[in-house]
Amino acid sequence: MGNSLEGKVAIVTGSGQGVGRGIAIFLAREGAKVVTNNRKPKTNDTITVNESFKSIGLKGNAEFDLEEEKKIMKMRGDAESTASEIRLEGGKATAFYGDVSDYEVAGKLVQTAIDTYGRLDIVINNAAGLGFGPFVQTTESDWDYQTQTKLKGAYNLMSHAVPVMIKQGYGRILNSASDAWTGIANLSAYSAANAGIVGLTKATAKELDRFGITVNAYCPQAASPGHMSFNATLKTMMEENGIKADPNDKRVETSEKEHGPAENLAPFLAYLCTVNAKYVNGAVFTVTGGGRISLYAEPIITNEIRKDMEPWSVEELIDQVPRTLLKDYTSIASQREF
């Protein structure tokens, strides 16, 4: 076990299984006291895989073979099972059950950390509501589920935690986004939630830097029940729509290599939580279980056209836009995932 986070207290939401579990365990190995969290205790192990996925917002219509089912069920856990594993390794951890999309519940989670360990240094907003499907099939409840847990949940935790961190003069907040924040077909609600996370991260980083608080976003790729269900659901949906996978397409193979053990992506997140990373603020990273760490460029204006004190006419724009403003432009709508 390391000591880079010795004396620090962390909350990791959505840490009952998958990515959040790996993060919580690694932070504890680096010396942090951790409050683990997920919505509710795990049910008995006889629950079916698809019933399990329905509980996290997925449709439950994916097809799995026996080995996949065994692997998924082995991954399942809850806040207490993660906390227990930390304690077995000699660390300190407390489990808290509750849905962080509820403002009052989020406040109780923050208060639990303070009451139990006396302070709060690190918040990892990792909880998410998953979903997949065409926009025209996205219901209001799908939209709410996929945006509230992630985006409203992050706001709720930060709303309660930031005043504490300001008083301490120190804080590290990591918001889980996804590469979907750039916009991925058939992930409209999830993409919207993650784009909101990026905006929230950058805005608050600019506000809170003077208080010794950093706010960064990470887009994780690692082994988890959600990842396995996503792949299986995608495969099923493609088959139902007569879309055949290209056997020469190496993206699936590459993706599986990136989705290594969740503990593999945690060291970089732990680094961002140290005093050494105080200069890193408002950044967005992709971090994978396969060892890749990528930094997204900052959004910038790449081109513009201007007329002083008078509007453009449509005729002028028809002439000017293709030749100047949108020269070398390619529509992202042509970049379909499948």
Give the residue numbers marked as catalytic. 190
Are 177 and 220 in contact, with CB atoms under 8 Å apart?
no
Residues near 214 by beta carbon (within 8 Å), at least 6 away in sequence: 171, 172, 173, 205, 208, 272, 277, 278, 280, 281
Rounded Cα gap, residues 323 and 122, in angstroms: 49
Choose among 180, 247, 253, 187: nearest CA to 220.
180
Q: Strand, helix or coil at 263? A: helix
DSSP state of 333: G
Residue 249 burial (CB < 10 Å; 0-12/13-18/19+)?
exposed
Rg (CA), the chain: 21
Rounded Cα gap, residues 148 and 150, in angstroms: 6
Rounded Cα gap, residues 248 and 164, in angstroms: 53
The token pair at 5 is: 């986070």
